[in-house]
Chain A
Amino acid sequence: MVLNCRDVWKEISNYIDGEVDAALREDLEAHFAQCRHCTAVLDGTHNVIVLMADERAFSVPVGFSERLTERLRQEIERRP
């Protein structure tokens, strides 16, 4: 089936996650092969996922772990 750009945008996230069937995957790839804009959307969306998954992207506040451990220690020791 020939897809238009709007059809493709709806499925880009599912395509990256491997949540589309073989026939739709083939149709999407045929579209990407001839559409510069949709390929740019696909690449950019994938870049977002790569950046978000990087452990350096979001961090906890300094001392968070120590404060949490201390709070848990108080609770664990309070109610044996």
Chain B
Amino acid sequence: MAGSESQDGVTKEIIDREKEQQADATDATCLAESALVERICKGERELFYELVRPYQRSVYLVAYSVLQNEADAEDIAQEAMLKALKHIDSFRGESKFATWLISIAVNAARMRVRKGHSTLFEPLEEDREDEKGEYVPKNFSDWREIPSDALEREEVRAILSKALASLSKQYREVIMLRDVQQFSIAETAQALGIREGAVKTRLLRARLRMRDLIGPEFSNWSPSRNWFKKGKRPWS
């Protein structure tokens, strides 16, 4: 028992140290980005490439999560980048640059939907709510193995894309920022202009729904295939 408590203490110390290192790295990135923004505002506009290069994929994917169309998402990604360049002097450093940039892309994509320029058809979600309006997860056989190299396969990526497309826009946006882009809950809330509580509620529904859509596909595949690794829980 004492040994277990001691082990827990060591584990917590390691986790705390990792969090501190991550926070230090984030601070360093923010400082470097603030310096770049200052120089761009003073006329070194070509530095904008360097500033936005790490976020090209993020901007495209968040636009895609709203619009569900490659051409529209690319168009909006370009529009958001140009808008960020045009208004770079309004970035005050109160949020991370990534959050500011992504919120521009989200708003541009939502505007495209509102103006009806997108050919977006919102999916009709399968009704799996109980009498209190809470989501009831499907009961299917265990999906314990994590298919670590499964994403090398086009068919697996297609399953993920199809599942994501079947979520409503409000769930796609949240899961794209939180789970694909690895934004924190606070950053996701800020980028989407919603409360943290709403992020958590939508995230729960999005994750459970994705699990119900994807899980049976993996459960039905033969574990004898070499892209299924045998193992215990993926995070243990």
User: Which positions in A face B, CB cutoff 8 Å?
Assistant: 6, 9-10, 12-14, 17, 19, 36-37, 39-41, 43-54, 56-61, 64-65, 67-69, 71-72, 75-76, 79-80
Q: Which residues of A contact B160 (CB under 8 A)?
A: 51-52, 57-58
User: Which positions in B face A, CB cutoff 8 Å?
Assistant: 43, 45-46, 48-49, 52, 56-57, 60-61, 64, 70, 74, 77-78, 81-82, 85, 130, 134-137, 139-144, 146-147, 150-152, 157, 160-161, 175, 179-180, 182, 185, 200, 203-204, 207-208, 210-211, 214-215, 218, 233-235
A60 to B78, CA, bound (A): 13
A10 to B134, CA, bound (A): 8
Q: Which residues of B contact A41 (CB under 8 A)?
A: 137, 208, 211
Q: Which residues of B contact A9 (CB under 8 A)?
A: 134-137, 208
The chain B residue with its CB closest to the CB of A61 is B70
Q: Which residues of A contact B142 (CB under 8 A)?
A: 36, 39-40, 43
A-B pairs with beta carbons under 8 A, tally: 134
A13 to B206, CA, bound (A): 10
Q: Return the contact of A43 from the options B82, B144, B152 (Cβ within 8 A).
A: B144
The chain A residue with its CB closest to the CB of B233 is A43
CB–CB B234/A53 < 8 A: no
CB–CB B152/A50 < 8 A: no
CB–CB A75/B85 < 8 A: yes
A71 to B86, CA, bound (A): 13
